[in-house]
Each structure stands twice: as structure tokens, then as C-alpha cells.
Structure 1
Amino acid sequence: MSIGDSQQESAENPHYVVFGYGSLIFKPPPHVKHRTPGYLKGYVRRFAQKSHDHRGTPENPGRVVTLVHKADWDAFSESDAFPHEDVVWGIAYTIDPLYESEVRDYLDYREKDGYTLETLDVYGVDNGTEKIIIKNAYCYVGRNDNPSFIGSEPIDHLAQHIWKSVGPSGPNKEYLYHLADSVRKLAPESYDSHLFALEARCKALDDGQEKKETSSSSS
């Protein structure tokens, strides 16, 4: 895949660039000048963060994705057997400098439920060669010591929880489906075993519910 679908950014890009790996992929920030698909190295993307304010409630939090260093994930992920060769694909958004302060405030509020702002290098492939395409892009990460981090859960339990959870921003499963669809569209290489396994299990629950309702209405 080429570096991006817009103007290529220098690895030494001085602009305000935000890397989205979760809801920012399908619900971008405002005032975006350029968007560049790319991926992170050394991390896994997991539904390991509670959502008290978007896809769940304080009483019944949903689950949303966060980034975890692969080495850290190994320490508390005995129930997670997904391969580490999957890479975290997302989109790097270059923000219009005129609106940088406004977008920073917007994202700080949107990602307030346990996320910390970090800087990470974004990779891409240019003419068959892997390279850093953006250095020090900003990224909101739910570190494993934040109060909303829940860690690894058995995949079937996690799918059931996502499938039934609802918050002010809508059903938790809607977030999962949007993210899975968006990741597929980024690049042929953007396979995410954990994400797609959860999607398959939740859609199986949808099918089961639909069959139950059909059977009930016809009896």
C-alpha cells in the first residue's frame, strides 16, 4: 500500500497530527487538512478499556479499545490467544493550524475517560519499503494503570458484554461494527484478529436474537 490517500507528510512533520486507532477512524476530529493511513509497531489494540460516558454508563460501563505495549499485554493476557503479528492500523489526521487549540480541547474532552496523550511514530510502506511516515504523532492511550483499564477478558464474555451494553453515544456493538468495517477499508494488510473475532461473535448473537424474535412472532 502507498503511504496515504492525501498529501504525504514528512517524517519530521511540525504540524499537529493525531493518530486515531478507535472511534477516531470512523468519527474523525474536526478541521482535518490531511489524512494518512498508517500503522503502529510494538502495540496491540484491545477492547480492554471501560466506557462510562460513550458506549456504557457509570453503572454499566461498555468496552472500547486502547493500545497496550505487546510486552505489557503478555503479562496479564493469559485468556488472549490472538497473534502478535497483527499490527495496529489507523489514520493520522493533520489538523488545520488555525484550529489547533480548538481541536486539542475537543479531543481532550472526548477522550477524558482514562486516556493519556502520548506521542508515537506512525509507519507506512512506500514502494515496498517500510518506513516511519510521521514521527511523534499524538495518540490517546488508555494506559494499564488508569482507573478504566480492565485488561484481558475471555472473548465470549467480552462479546456478550459488548453486545448488550448501551451508552449516550449508542450501542456498544455499533462502535465495534463501525471500527471493524473501517479497519477493513484502510488497507488489505489491516487484519485485526481480536477485533474481527469479537465482530463475528456479536453478529452471531444478533442472528440468534433475530431467529428468536422471528420464532416468537410466528408462534
Structure 2
Amino acid sequence: MTYIVFGYGSLIFKPPPHVISEVHGFLKGYVRRFAQKSHDHRGTPEKPGRVVTLIHKEEWAAFSGSDAFPDEDIVWGIAYTIDPAFEKEVRGYLDYREKDGYTLEAVDVWGVESNGQETIVLHGVHCYVGRNDNPSFIGSEPLDALAHKIWESVGPSGPNKEYLYNLVEAVRKLAPESHDSHLYALEKRLRELDCLSDLGS
């Protein structure tokens, strides 16, 4: 079978190698939240940053005490088809890249036809999900505390806030009309922290 992987976080702005085609689409039944600790890319074991994961909507209610946003957010992303000649190499690369608590799941990717009708465009696509029972899952945090954690955290892959800014920019390009209140509210808070920092320097 063709190896296709869906990116909803850093894979959107930093795609895997050996991609031969891509499909822009969205998921149903999930929310995208900064609910996963990052010990290895955007933080350290001592000071973990925060990165996005997917949570099933029906499960999010159990973790969303600090998240006052409605669940209408749409998880847009990109499904990448990998060159079969490099499938083993890319699988190994992604397993290592997503090793901090992520598990492979199969998801259906949706698209919108020219008449506005929503339809499934890809079935059973591979997707790395930080399930709520993995050690790095942190669940919901108060927005201001979460924003500050992202703003101050740095890891081997760079500043945590760079991850958020890149993701927001990529999602806006993918679907300018998309509703993603969590991402945009965090971006607003981080921009405010940047301004305060500039004033204080």
C-alpha cells in the first residue's frame, strides 16, 4: 500500500523527505491543541516546551477545564505521499522525529468539492497522535500560562515560539477561512509577550 502521512503540526511547515505528492485537507472528530510536552525538540527534559497533538473531540471534554474555546476549530493539514523507494527510510525518520509520546493512528482526510460538498479524499492515512495516556500528554492549561511556557521554552530544534508562529502561518496559508481559535489566541498572547519584552530591553 502507498505510504501516506498526515501532518497537522510541524510536518506542515517542515515536510518529511521524499514526498512525491501532497493533498491539503482536514480531519473530523479531532481538536488540535498544545497539549503535549516537548522534551526533545522545542524544550528539554528539565524544561519541556509544548507542541500540538490531536485529541478526539469526545475525549477533550475530560481535559478541557482550562480551555474555554468552542470545538468548532477545524484541523487543516497536509497528507504527504512518500516515494515507495524511500518508504522504510522515511518511516524511520518520522518514528524518530515523533518519538516523544506519539503513536501512529489511521485517519480519514476530508476535502471540499467545487460545489462546497465535504467528502473524504483519503482513507486510512497514517497520523502521529499524542494520545492522552502517553507520558508527555499534559492536557489543558490556562491560556496565559501556556502562552508563557511556549514563549520562554527553547530546545534542540529552536525556540518553542518559532514552532507556534510557523504553524499559525502555515495554517493560514492552507485555509485562510479556517476557524482555529486555539492557535490564533496563543499567537496573540505571544505577540504581546514579544512586545513587552521589546519594551523592557
Q: Please, what TM-score do these two structures have when normalized by structure 1?
A: 0.90
CA shift for structure 1 position 132: 0.3
1:146 — aligned with what? 134
Q: Give, in whole Å, the separation in 2 of the partners of 1:68 and 1:150.
A: 12
Instruction: Look up the match of 2:38.
Output: 51
The answer to whether the Cα contact below 8 Å between 1:183 and 1:191 also exists between their aligned partners in 2 is no
Does the alignment pair 1:93 with 2:80? yes
**3-state SS of the aligned residue for 1:119?**
strand
1:126-160 deviations in Å (ceiling 9; x for gaps): 11111000000000000000000000000000000
Specify the code of the residue in structure 2 equivalent to 1:102.
Answer: E
> Corresponding residue for 2:16?
29
Alignment of 1:126-165 (within 5 A): 126-127=113-114, 128-165=116-153
Aligned counterparts of 2:85 and 2:66: Cα–Cα separation in 1: 46
Mapped to 1, the partners of 2:179 and 2:20 lie a distance apart of 27
Quick one: which of 27, 31, 48 aligns to 1:61?
48
Q: In structure 1, which of residues 171, 192, 206 is the aligned counterpart of residue 159 of structure 2?
A: 171
Inter-partner Cα distance in structure 2 for 1:181 and 1:135: 27
Q: Residue in 2 aligned with 1:70?
A: 57
- Aligned residue pairs: how many? 200
CA–CA distance in 2 between the matches of 1:29 and 1:15? 15
Flag structure 1 segments of 5+ consecutive residues without an equivalent: 1-13, 214-219
TM-superposed deviation, 1:191: 2.6
- Matched letter for residue 43 of structure 1: Y
Residues of 2 paired with 1:174 and 1:189: CA distance? 23
Paired with 1:163 and 1:142, the residues of 2 have a C-alpha distance of 21
| 1:180 aligns to 2:175 (yes or no) | no
After TM superposition, give the deviation of residue 189 of structure 1 in Å.
2.8
1:101: how far off? Answer: 0.6
Instruction: Determine the C-alpha separation between the residues in 2 that align with 1:122 and 1:45.
Output: 15
* 1:208 partner amino acid: L
Deviation at 1:87, TM superposition (A): 1.1
Separation of aligned partners in 2, 1:55 and 1:76: 22
Match of 2:191 in 1: 203
1:208 CA drift (Å): 0.6
Find out whether 1:110 has 2:97 as its counterpart: yes
Larger radius of gyration: 1
Task: Return the alpha-carbon distance in structure 2 between the equivalents of residues 41 and 63 of structure 1.
Answer: 23
Matches within 5 A, 1:118-129: 118-127=105-114, 128-129=116-117
Q: Does structure 2 conserve the Cα–Cα contact (< 8 Å) formed by 1:55 and 1:166?
A: yes
- TM-score, scaled relative to structure 2: 0.98
Q: Give, in whole Å, the separation in 2 of the partners of 1:191 and 1:184.
A: 10
